[in-house]
Amino acid sequence: MKKIKAAIVGTGFIGPAHLEALRRIPYVEVTALCEVNIELAKAKAELLGIPNAFTFEEMLKQPDIDAVHICTPNFLHFSQSKAALEAGKHVICEKPLATKIEEAEELVALAKEKGLVNAVHFNLRYYPMVRQMKTMRENGELGEIYSIMGSYLQDWLYLNTDYNWRLEPDQSGDSRAIADIGSHLLDLTEYVTGLKVTEVMADFSTVHKTRLKPLKPIETYSGKMLQESDYAEVPINTEDHATVMLRFDNGNKGSVTVSQVNAGRKNRLNIEIAGSKSNYEWCSEKPNELWIGKRETANQHLMKDPSLFTKEAAGLISFPGGHNEGFPDTSKQMFKEVYAAIREGKQPEKPSFPTFEDGHRELLICERIIESNKKQSWVKI
């Protein structure tokens, strides 16, 4: 079997996560790594066991590289994705696809023109229980959807000494909590329910108006401690916490809350979908369990087991029931679908994976949420 060769651009938190997932797909080989300069690229390539280190521009000139994973800060996603497409490479981009709607629209059009495989890393769709909820809803087991409540809570920016490039709008964009983790939750909401958000009403809160920025580099989630003299106080203009009310195209309502300042919540996405036949509740901290609420019979507690799942959801399970699968497996399962398309050499007519169009959709929703917070009023999508 011919190996598909891939390059990873960026080696913060998520780049190595992409690498680990790709190494679990037998016909994919990560042969190249790019960083901000060649010295860092060589050091990271040696550390991660990748044979070739390049600058981004040099990597694009390599004819044997088929696919490029964009794992850099947000402000680089548009330019690097565009350059990779123009170089004839298939592209898997981290979210958000861009920091401006116009840029995302340009990437959608360019990818379509080139006919190349394009994907955005909304990997949380690939928890088997998420697809199980989706297919159970499609099979009519949920009924008419009455309401949706969701939250995504973290504590990695809980202290005013916690700092990351995502706190800087020139690198991350005008929104932080919503654009970073909220985009996952909103994508999951529309994906599972099949509904579209039509209007939003948002309220943001910046808990730490200033933060102490490290004068030395710290990688995401590293937990590394510095001395007081190693910090500089800087103003913060993006949200630590946000609550958004939602209106859906079936006429019913929902709400989501996202926060990066909830002590003890390391990475907790929770969604509850109330329907006319059942109520589904799923939490990413217990990814192999689904609570199914009933009114006239006993509630149910479904555990991950391929023999009990729909065919579509069972296809995302690699191990038998009772053998837990989690966050690293979501990227593997997503990339299996993406690279099946890359083997065919073109974007499928109806992709099973999240595409640049999905990335554009989430950017549009996030832009409207930012607008709503500024206006303190309902805004149509």
Give yes or no for a contact between 318 and 325, defined as CB atoms under 8 angstroms apart: yes
- Indicate whether 107 and 129 sit together in one domain: no
Number of H helices, E strands in the chain: 12, 17
Host domain of residue 105: 4-116
DSSP lists the bridge partners of residue 153 as: 259, 268
In b/e form, how buried is each residue of 344-379, taking b as 16+ CB within 10 angstroms?
Answer: eeebeeebebbbbbbbbbbbebbbbbbebbeeeeeb
Q: 353 and 233, same structural domain?
A: yes
Using CA atoms, how far apart are residues 286 and 271, in angstroms rounded to an integer?
A: 12
CA proximity to 90, closest of 287, 379, 341, 322 = 341
174 and 27 belong to one structural domain: no
Half-sphere exposure of 244 (CA within 13 A, CB side): 35
Residues 251 and 342 in one domain: yes
Residues 257 and 371 reside in one and the same domain: yes
Give dist(CA 44, CA 35) in Å, integer. 8
Do 360 and 270 belong together in one domain?
A: yes
Last residue of a domain, one of 59, 94, 116: 116
Q: How many domains does the chain have?
A: 2
User: Is 30 in contact with 7 (CB distance < 8 Å)?
Assistant: yes
Given 85, 116, 147, the domain boundary residue is 116
CATH of the domain at 182: 3.30.360.10
Residue after which a domain boundary falls, among 97, 116, 135: 116
pLDDT at res. 49: 97
Residues 52 and 130 in one domain: no
**Could you tell me if 57 and 143 lie in one domain?**
no
Q: 204 and 146, same structural domain?
A: yes
For residues 93 and 138, membership in a common domain is answered with no
DSSP sequence for 1-44: -PPEEEEEE--SSHHHHHHHHHTTSTTEEEEEEE-SSHHHHHHH
Is the Cβ–Cβ distance between 333 and 316 less than 8 Å?
yes
Phi and psi at 168, nearest 5°, equal: -110, 110
**In Å, what is the CA distance from 98 to each residue of 20, 73, 251, 259, 338?**
25, 10, 30, 22, 20
Residue ranges of alpha helices (H) inside the chain are 14-22, 38-48, 56-60, 77-86, 101-114, 128-138, 169-172, 177, 183-193, 311-314, 327-344, 356-375
Same domain, 9 and 111: yes
Distance CA 332, CA 17 (A): 10
Specify the residue for token string 């960083």.
35
Q: Do 201 and 105 share a domain, yes or no?
A: no
Query: What pLDDT tens digit does each residue of the chain (381 aa) get?
Result: 789 999 999 998 999 999 999 999 999 999 999 999 999 999 999 999 999 999 999 999 999 999 999 999 999 999 999 999 999 999 999 999 999 999 999 999 999 999 999 999 999 999 999 999 999 999 999 999 999 999 999 999 999 989 988 899 888 888 999 999 999 999 999 999 999 999 999 999 999 999 999 887 665 555 556 676 788 999 999 999 999 999 999 999 999 999 999 999 999 999 999 999 999 999 999 999 999 999 999 999 999 999 999 999 999 999 999 999 999 999 999 999 999 999 999 999 999 999 999 999 999 999 999 999 999 999 999
Residues of the chain by 3-state class (helix, strand, coil), percent to 5: 35, 25, 40
